[in-house]
Amino acid sequence: MGVYGVRMVEKRGVCNLCEAICGLVFTLDDDTGAITAVRGDPDDPLSRGHLCPKAVALQDVHEDPDRLRRPVRRHGDTWVEVSWDEALDAVADGLARAVNDHGRDALAIYLGNPNVHSLGSLTHGTAMAKSFRTRNKFSATSVDQLPAQMLAYLMYGHQLLLPIPDLDRTQHFLVFGANPMASNGSLMTVPDFPTRLRELHRRGGRMVVVDPRRTETARVADEHHFVRPGSDAFVLLAMVQVLLAEDLATPPAYVDGLDAVRAAVAPYTPERAAAMSGLDADDVRRMARELAAAPSAAVYGRVGVSTQEFGLVSTWAVQLLNLLTGNLDRPGGVMLTKPAVDVVGRSFVGRGHHDLWRSRVRGLPEFGGELPVATLADEILAPGEGQVRALLTVAGNPVSSTPDGSRLDEALAGLDFLAAVDIYVNETTRHADVILPPTSALERDHYDLVFHALAVRNTARFTPALFDKPDGAMHDWEIFREIVLRTQRRLRTKRPLRRRLVQAARMRLSPTRVVDLLLRTSSPRLSVARLRKGPVDLGPLQPCLPDRLMTEDKRVRVAPAEVLADLSRLESARAPQGLVLVGRRHQRDNNSWMHNTTRLTKGRPRHRLLMHPHDLAAHEIADGSVVQVKSAVGAVAVEVQASEDMMPGVVSLPHGYGHARDGVRMRNAVDLPGASVNDLTDPSVLDVSGNAVLSGVPVTVTPT
Ligand SMILES: Nc1nc2c(c(=O)[nH]1)N[C@H]1C(S)=C(S)[C@@H](COP(=O)(O)OP(=O)(O)OC[C@H]3O[C@@H](n4cnc5c(=O)[nH]c(N)nc54)[C@H](O)[C@@H]3O)O[C@H]1N2
Ligand SMILES: Nc1nc2c(c(=O)[nH]1)N[C@H]1C(S)=C(S)[C@@H](COP(=O)(O)OP(=O)(O)OC[C@H]3O[C@@H](n4cnc5c(=O)[nH]c(N)nc54)[C@H](O)[C@@H]3O)O[C@H]1N2
Ligand code: SF4
Ligand SMILES: [Mo]
């Protein structure tokens, strides 16, 4: 019984918005079923009661009248609700027509970020994507963590063998290009970073941050260094060079290629790093020595390190620092996880492969079956055999999230057919012929297959849907199943009947059933029924190398040829003249969506260009004025804000804004169109992994 005689019930749930995967407790009015409160679950062994403002906004998304609940078809500029049957048939017709008329590669697919946050996407969405057998598969991976996955594949033998900072035990945390105070961590599932950092300080540990902006994380660090965007490789390699030159390296026995590393890093001295990066040579040397001297240390690099011109080399250098200081696989260092459902060990996710085929227009190599999304517009626009004619996007917004979004925006308008599985009309799905909206996150069962495998502690949690599936709604996995079955039926070249039957049977198994089977056959043996009683703590990360390596000889390849070859490109890098642009995230932003919840958007606008006062003065720009920011590919008008937190020479704009195109306001935003930073980022410049370069973009800023 609650207050005023209103009957309240509490239900466990989860926030699937970011990688922290916080366990939640929802309070519901038992009579109306309405959510009356959301709080962090204090009994959750991973998130320990944490939540951020976005969790509360899950309710806003759920209740948002602009969230699509029925499939819609576009008629000119208007959307018409249609039945599921009509919508699914129209999608299958459109996709199959492209394949029948122009071949399999004429159908492209783009998988956006929320796919990794939905159980149904992982169990059924990836199977759907595979079933198309197109070479034109794209995802948010290549605007995010592709260098990390490629390097894990090259060094450790599996794209998801990603060593995770053992944050709860480390004594020294060295962070390059990440802002976990705002992002809550990435490739490091770490709910409640602020408390965990306080604990680190309490046990005498230190955090050092290297970032071109004095971020929320830099502010609470023991030491912060500005770094010129894109120059991390010079700093990181110089640190490796110091470790080796000063005989401070203590690598494990199971590594191959150390001599090649020694030779490769020899030219990268702290003095050279200083000239390129703006850090002090003595600081670089000291940082290397302190790393070697720390009882335990974890070096961590994230979006700022991977979405830049030398993403793969920088990511490699981060791994080398951990490995050479003996911190790989050491408590308090960086460790591999052992989740209840071991997606790596059980081959739920493949090891990866590289360069099995190349993109048609630019000849860019695939990784793990995907091509760099920076070239999606080329594949749509360039005529010829294999041209993309139809596109299916799932939970993505590449017009806002990938480089030169404006060009992609134009390209999408020219497609024969575009279908989207999405809950909003956004900058991308507005071009769709049909949008298929799945149930909301609160209407779905969840078990986190991906982020348990990237977490700072081994735990297992299953959360049943908070609300029943409403009448006339479909779960995402049901939509994927129908797309596969209906499209296959229409294809002229059919796959063998047996394979189709096996596939159909698989697609009929619900995600919860799949997870249950996986849990029951894992060690320790768990089940969905067991986890319905509450989450299970499997303890801190455990040493497991070299056993867990997936290379054939169970040895780490520390000098992959692909990385060494890219050093020649690094050799020719020049420190940029003029201003460069970097991105930023705010705790109350979530990539390109959720700008339509007032709870998250009220207050001062956050989409301004930050610029150092000296730079403003040098360019004769007044604080608060509207400026034009121009790059090689485009220009946007934004308000500028003076900020001492910026490194001089660097300006910062958050991504995910730009919600009005051609004067049309999208339904994923209320009153703050802002400008899209990806109208400035340049798809012609890529990291060798194929990852987009979103950081260190040369720009000019002029008064308007
Ligand atoms: N310049 C610049 N660009 C960036 C970045 C940057 O730092 N700077 N960051 C990059 C990174 S790290 C990422 S991950 C990408 C993200 O880029 P994307 O994945 O392309 O885009 P999101 O903004 O995450 O859009 C997700 C869409 O999914 C929809 N959605 C939400 N929940 C669901 C659901 O449950 N089911 C379905 N079907 N749809 C749903 C939302 O309506 C939204 O339109 O952006 C990248 N782009
Ligand atoms: N609130 C919130 N949380 C999120 C998200 C969100 O949109 N909002 N998105 C989620 C997603 S999809 C992801 S991938 C993660 C990302 O998680 P993080 O990587 O922690 O997030 P960012 O804020 O992008 O941090 C990148 C940092 O790199 C810095 N940087 C830019 N260029 C360089 C460079 O060349 N060198 C160095 N050393 N630093 C550089 C930037 O100033 C920025 O501080 O966050 C996740 N969590
Ligand atoms: S940190 Fe915030 S957005 Fe991320 S999972 Fe937790 S509550 Fe959700
Ligand atoms: Mo991301």
pLDDT digits (tens, 9 = 90+) for 237-248: 999 999 999 999
Ligand nearest the Cα of residue 655 is: 1
Which of the residue ranges 44-58, 120-134, 296-310, 662-676 would you say has the lowest mean pLDDT? 662-676
Q: In the predicted model, is pLDDT for residue 313 greater than 90?
A: yes
Classified as helix, coil or strand, 380 is: helix
pLDDT at 460: 98
pLDDT tens digit sequence for 61-81: 999 999 999 999 999 889 999
CA atoms in the 13 A half-sphere facing the CB of 244: 23
Nearest partner of 395 among 431, 424, 363, 357, judged by Cα? 424
Asked whether the beta carbons of 34 and 11 are under 8 A apart, the reply is no
638: Cα separation from own chain's centroid: 26
Closest Cα to atom 4 of ligand 1: 401
Angle (deg, nearest 10), helices 311-324 and 146-156? 50
CA 303 to ligand 2 center in whole angstroms: 5
Measured from the Cα of 428, ligand 1's closest atom is: 44
HEC profile of 462-492: EECCCCCCCCCCCCHHHHHHHHHHHHHHHCC
Instruction: Tell me the C-alpha distance between 189 and 198, whole Å.
Output: 17
pLDDT for residue 348: 87
Whether the Cβ atoms of residue 326 and residue 250 lie closer than 8 Å to each other: yes
Residue 666 in this model has a pLDDT that exceeds 80: no
Name the helix (H) or strand (E) containing 457.
strand 457-460
Q: Quick check: 433 and 418 in contact, CB under 8 A?
A: yes
End-to-end C-alpha distance for the chain, whole angstroms: 61
Distance in angstroms (rounded) separating the CA atoms of residues 271 and 267? 10
List the one residue out of 408, 403, 436, 444 whose CA is nearest residue 692.
Answer: 403
Lowest mean pLDDT among 387-396, 550-559, 593-602: 593-602
Cα gap 264→243, rounded to integer Å: 14
The CA distance from 127 to 480, in Å, is 8
* Nearest atom (ligand 2) to Cα of 590: 7
Segment 598-614, tens digit of pLDDT? 889 888 888 999 999 99
C-alpha 285/C-alpha 291 separation (Å) is 10
Q: Which residue has the higher pLDDT, 641 or 659?
A: 641
Q: 544 and 166 in contact (C-beta within 8 Å)?
A: no
**Which of 498, 668, 704, 478 has its CA nearest to residue 590?**
668
**Do the beta carbons of residue 611 and residue 638 sit within 8 Å?**
no
Question: Does 4 score more than 90 pLDDT?
Answer: no
Give the ligand with the smallest distance to the CA of 14. Answer: 3
Identify the helix (H) or strand (E) that includes residue 263: helix 258-265
R_g (Cα) of the chain, nearest Å: 25
> Tokens for 185?
């961590």
Indicate the DSSP class of residue 341. S
Q: Which atom of ligand 2 is nearest to the CA of 231?
A: 35
Q: Quote the pLDDT of residue 674.
A: 87
Please answer whether residues 133 and 297 qualify as being in contact, where contact means their C-beta atoms are separated by less than 8 angstroms: no
Residue 676: per-residue pLDDT = 96
Contact in structure between 336 and 345 (CB atoms under 8 Å): no
Q: Report the nearest-CA residue for atom 38 of ligand 2.
A: 177
CA distance 337 to 339: 6
Average pLDDT over residues 456-471: 98
E strands, 331-442, where? 334-335, 354-358, 365-367, 390-394, 417-421, 434-436
Closest residue by CA, ligand 1 atom 25: 396
Q: Where are the beta strands (DSSP E) in 3-141?
A: 8-14, 23-29, 35-40, 72-75, 78-81, 107-111, 137-139
* Ligand that lies nearest to the alpha carbon of residue 440, given by its number in the listed order: 1
Helix H or strand E segment including 209: strand 206-210
Which residue owns the Cα nearest ligand 3 atom 5?
21
- The model's confidence at residue 333, banded by pLDDT at 50, 70 and 90, is very high
Angle between helices 270-277 and 281-293 (to 10 degrees): 120
- pTM check: above 0.95: yes
What pLDDT sits at residue 1?
Answer: 43
Per-residue pLDDT tens over the stretch 159-174: 999 999 999 999 999 9
With bands split at pLDDT 50, 70 and 90, how would you rate the model's confidence at 654? very high
Note the pLDDT tens digit of each residue in 191-227. 999 999 999 999 999 999 999 999 999 999 999 999 9
Instruction: Tell me what pLDDT residue 2 has.
Output: 47
Instruction: Look at 649 and 575; give whichever has higher pLDDT.
Output: 649
Place of tokens 């956006």: 112
Q: Cβ distance 583 to 699 under 8 Å?
A: no
Per-residue model confidence (pLDDT) at position 672:
65
User: Quick check: 692 pLDDT over 70?
Assistant: yes
Q: What is the mean pLDDT of residues 619-642?
A: 97
Ligand 3 atom index nearest CA of 53: 2
% of the chain exceeding 70 in pLDDT: 98
In terms of residues, how long is the chain?
704
Question: What pLDDT sits at residue 77?
Answer: 85
d(CA 566, CA 341): 36
For 266-285, how does the pLDDT look when each residue is reduced to its tens digit (9 = 90+)? 999 999 999 999 999 999 99
| pLDDT number for residue 5 | 66
**Alpha-carbon distance 329 to 320, whole Å?**
13
Give the C-alpha separation, 108 to 370, whole Å.
11
Residue 664 parent element (H or E): strand 664-665
401: Cβ contacts below 8 Å, ≥ 6 apart: 112, 113, 140, 143, 591, 592, 655, 656, 678
What is the pLDDT, as a whole number, of residue 671?
62
Atom of ligand 3 nearest to the CA of 51: 7
For residue 410, how many other CB atoms are within 10 A of its CB?
15
- Matching residue, tokens 């902006």: 213
Residue the block writes with tokens 């973009």 = 697
Give the list of residues 6+ apart from residue 151 with CB closer than 8 angstroms, or none: 312, 315, 316, 319, 560, 563, 689
Mutate to test the pocket of ligand 2, among 118, 145, 183, 587 (most ligand atoms within 8 A of CB): 183
The candidate with the shortest Cα–Cα distance to 303, out of 405, 419, 179, is: 179
pLDDT at 3: 53
Cis amide linkage into residue 524, ω under 30° from 0: yes
Average pLDDT, the chain: 96
- 4 has which bridge partners? none
Residue 662 banded pLDDT, cuts 50, 70, 90 = confident
DSSP symbol at 204: T
CA separation for the pair 241, 246 (Å, rounded):
8
Q: What are phi and psi of 498, to 5 degrees?
A: -55, -45
- How far is residue 52's CA from residue 334's CA, in Å, rounded to a whole number? 26
Q: What's residue 673's pLDDT?
A: 74
Angle formed at CA 652 by CA 649 and CA 658, multiple of 5 degrees: 140
- The one-letter amino acid code at 252 reads P
CA 647 to chain CA centroid, Å, is 25
- In angstroms, what is the span from residue 395 Cα to ligand 2's centroid? 20
Q: Whose CA is nearest to atom 23 of ligand 1?
A: 592
- Check if 52 has its Cβ closer than 6 Å to any atom of ligand 3: yes
Pocket of ligand 2 (CB under 6 A): 18-19, 113, 144, 176-180, 182-184, 186, 210-213, 215, 227, 229-230, 232, 302-305, 308, 582-585, 587, 589-591, 695-696
